[in-house]
Structure 1
């Protein structure tokens, strides 16, 4: 009788207070027995993309070599490079580390929508923001538990209904777009590439750091 595949689940995230600026990474690791471990780190001068990479690197390092691992991240920068082999123009030192950690395991990268209904992804985000502010789990700091976006905003059905109603209220030139960083829907005034990103601070940092 075949046994179910035992695998680790890693949620990784990054945050930066300026681009460059003080940054942090966060990771939540769930082992095959369901035990969760929370990690984060700090860099005094970095970029958002580097912290996204560090979250994935350190999350993988917390798993056994040779293990099956699913890495979930709301960074298309990380996930698309690892799954679609996008060209890497910067951060070659960290890409080398991530490639090495992934090669030592059976890894599958999955993109998740940021700042949405996934409580573990939201937790990784909290850890990353803590890290950017120099508050580390290793030093005894713990993130406050918050309500998920799904609880605060209602169901996806409610969001869809709101989008349909909003379509009839858009001003000339405005459109509803999906943020290129977190995937959330937002009203864009149109125009250049910067309007492919919502107004959330982390998404604007990614937009302006490209």
Structure 2
């Protein structure tokens, strides 16, 4: 039995979400990508996280806009970016958000890749419990420039229909038809965030940051 999957397995709007193009010196060094240039898509974050939700979508957009602010018209350099999460690693959805940010930036905690002959290290670039005004901060290792990003998910609220259905679905009392509709409503909010509000500065706020 063929167990392979394709992007056709996912909602169509995943492919329309903004992508993030980076340059990875390690990928270039090891011949994994031509010139080390790689394009990450929202579906990559979904595959990694195992689900699509407002947290994953919001983190995707925060990473996108944070890197745009840091690098302007040049490609972000994967492995050369430090990430500072505001909350502790075990708090709330911090782990999910850190996973998405790590996918794009390469920034890993102490368990990350230690590099080759002193180069390309990714470990100790992801920090938790940091004094960030927002969700997380991003810092370029080469210039020291840094930004902090915040998310106001209330800009794209749940529909009234979802609010009514959520308790029933979460408690296991919804039938198959209701559960299918629940999933559709859930992803509709994600779609609105990624497509209708992708560049909404009320949803994602980016500000300069000075690391003490």
* TM-score (normalizing by structure 1): 0.29
| Larger strand percent | 1
Q: Please, what TM-score do these two structures have when normalized by structure 2?
A: 0.29
